[in-house]
Structure 1
């Protein structure tokens, strides 16, 4: 029996239903496999008083410490998140908080491997916890955990040390594996572990455009409203293309800035910020679009890319992360220069090409949650063996 302790600070809760849905789906897939038991620990970092009284952190502090989440036995312990320290103390604070939690879990669930689904601070703390409880540790790299924390002065050394000490490593794309090797991690210990997509929910849908009330060409973008996602570039690109609408699904601190850009360009009649869109509502939005454009400066392998392709909608994206692993044929879309001109040209090209939606969907067929779960189980079992 494989008994997995999944450790991930990236996981949905009732206040953030879209937060880390891909980790949730991966964990549900693993737990559904035969001869596999899973317990989940989702640490929540809270700053000291009075910052902890802010609406965001107050909502997180009210989450239950223990619950059954979609059939998963889960604990949500709190750890001290010290602001203005560049993350320097996050792993130590997390480890300190998790020792008693894992000790309690181990009384009735003798986990034989720790699966850390994000590199920082989860993976760094997991290595120390693995030594303490004498179990192997796997860490998965997804994107910002390497691109940011793996290079930030306060945390880079800790990320590298954890990568060298872990018993096994996973990378969400071949490009991410290369990035891990570039900072000093061992190539022969990193396995590529692609994400999955629900091929039933994300599928071409001839009625989607009618349901959301779209008649003309539609571009969709999906991602947090933060500078790294490049929504400002997509907005300006669409503003240059007459009669094309843009809908952006996502929330974040950049909303006011992006709305001001939309108003300043005079395109508020055809460019909309939708705010946070529930994950179960994304299939209709993606299936209704003619193009999904996301101008990220960095990615591991964005779930929005493969969800769009599974919906029959081609993507226009920069050459970031695993872009070339996803756009592997002309029907899947275009990889473009990360500039307004590049994005506009890519959108125009895909609107003109209008590839068959089933041909687009074929590019996503290899990304399944079933394959994701089986690959993960095989990897974790090899560490235990």
Structure 2
């Protein structure tokens, strides 16, 4: 059965943000590669009112084309009004009003069979409204902060729950995420665990010492890949460094927390052993993973972090906290260590891993079940099942 899918995503890369939502894009490309699925992507862009829309990153977003071919996908980028830092709940109505005329027109030209919303907020509630307007079913995928943050805030939690109630099917990036959704009152019987994928031909084993030499590093290297925000816990890694005197810490990511981390590093006297790499293009991450002895990410919350899987595919063991799908992923001792969220526990785990490094091929084998092919198979079956059950 061939299905016509409308993929709705506020997390989708563009020319100004090539790393933004890259895994949503990869999943959409995998789905579109299947003969059973035709895929149209609508990736709405929120813009504040003039003159704020002229500033910085908003100016780059304003310049994006309304429609383009993006890596084999047809992508529409309609804009909708937002109130920076205060929008939240209002984004659902504003986004729906902005994109509904486009969706109606596309639906008349070639009727959609199902809506695939890639994030629970605001995508889920917007998909709910589009579903009512068009009379077609929808599915929503939970990835992490959309449940842990938007699903618990007083102003938005009802919107999240109602979108889940009306959905024909739900996806979660891990079984732990499925349990988190159930704790919010979402029916667990509707939720299918849908693991991410990793490009195993890109994220592969390469010579670690050669990778270090190419990047100008020597000695033990600990890498952290993630946005520089408090929830990711990079401050705990910085605080662990005084107990790891020979270690270089690389932080790949950007965010408003960078200044705080820089100040903390100076206070602790470890600033010379920290490298802020900024936003690394996704295709350049493999060589950095290859140079790292450990990938550490002491997050406060996660779904199932894509960076965890990519590190393992490169043979780089993990030091991570007991959040999200950590225990589902680390199913063997070679893959890494789950630690308490303290600098002391993190330092101890890093020291122990460096003292007795696991076989890199054994580490990589942990990631071999996370393929984009398996991800695509599951998504096609999920959406086809929704359409067939109408």
Under TM normalisation by the shorter chain, which class is it? over 0.9
Corresponding residue number in structure 1 for 2:231: 228
- Is structure 2 residue 47 aligned with structure 1 residue 46? yes
Corresponding residue number in structure 2 for 1:214: 217
Corresponding residue number in structure 2 for 1:272: 275
Corresponding residue number in structure 2 for 1:109: 110
Corresponding residue number in structure 1 for 2:83: 82
TM-score normalised to structure 1 length: 0.98
C-alpha separation between the residues in 1 aligned to 2:14 and 2:243? 39
Runs of 4+ in 1 over 2 A off after TM superposition: 82-86
Corresponding residue number in structure 2 for 1:154: 155
- Is structure 2 residue 170 aligned with structure 1 residue 173? no
- Is structure 2 residue 349 aligned with structure 1 residue 346? yes
Corresponding residue number in structure 2 for 1:91: 92
Question: How many residues are aligned here?
Answer: 385
CA displacement 1:16-35 (0-9 Å, x = unmatched): 01001000100000000122
Secondary structure (helix, strand or coil) at the match of 2:272 reads: coil
- Is structure 2 residue 285 aligned with structure 1 residue 289? no
Corresponding residue number in structure 2 for 1:248: 251
Measured on the aligned residues, the alpha-carbon RMSD in Å equals 1.0
C-alpha separation between the residues in 1 aligned to 2:380 and 2:243? 48
- Is structure 2 residue 7 aligned with structure 1 residue 6? yes
TM-score normalised to structure 2 length: 0.97
C-alpha separation between the residues in 2 aligned to 1:191 and 1:371? 14
The alpha carbon displacement at 1:86 in A equals 5.2
Q: Please, which runs of 5 or more residues in structure 1 have no aligned partner?
A: none
* Contact kept in structure 2, 1:172 and 1:192, CA below 8 Å: yes
Secondary structure (helix, strand or coil) at the match of 1:16 reads: coil
Corresponding residue number in structure 1 for 2:191: 190
C-alpha separation between the residues in 1 aligned to 2:298 and 2:271? 20
Corresponding residue number in structure 2 for 1:326: 329
C-alpha separation between the residues in 1 aligned to 2:27 and 2:227? 21
* Contact kept in structure 2, 1:86 and 1:154, CA below 8 Å: no
* Contact kept in structure 1, 2:36 and 2:380, CA below 8 Å: no
* Contact kept in structure 2, 1:297 and 1:320, CA below 8 Å: yes
The alpha carbon displacement at 1:333 in A equals 0.3
C-alpha separation between the residues in 2 aligned to 1:230 and 1:268? 17
CA displacement 1:149-184 (0-9 Å, x = unmatched): 001111011001101111100000000000000000
C-alpha separation between the residues in 1 aligned to 2:155 and 2:86? 8
Corresponding residue number in structure 2 for 1:306: 309
* Contact kept in structure 2, 1:259 and 1:273, CA below 8 Å: no
